[in-house]
Amino acid sequence: MDQLSEKILQALERDGRISNLDLAEQVGLSPSACLRRVQDLERRGVIKGYRAVLDRDQMGAGFAAYVTVGLSDHSKASQEAFERSIGRAREVRECHNITGAVEYLLRVECADLAAYKHFHTEILGTLPQVNAITSYIVMGSPKDERA
Q: What is the pLDDT along the chain (147 residues), one digit of tens a residue?
A: 899 999 999 999 999 999 999 999 999 999 999 999 999 999 999 999 998 888 888 988 899 999 999 999 999 999 999 999 999 999 999 999 999 999 999 999 999 999 999 999 999 999 999 999 999 999 998 998 876
Q: Which of 112, 126, 67, 72 is nearest to 93 (CA)?
A: 67
Cα 23 to Cα 34: distance, rounded to the nearest angstrom: 7
Specify the CATH number for the domain of residue 99.
3.30.70.920
In a domain, 91, yes or no: yes
In a domain, 147, yes or no: no
Give the relative orientation of helices 20-27 and 3-14 as an angle to the nearest 10 degrees. Answer: 130
Q: Which pTM does this prediction carry?
A: 0.82
The answer to whether the CB of 103 falls within 8 A of the CB of 133 is: no
Shared domain for 71 and 104, answered yes or no, is yes
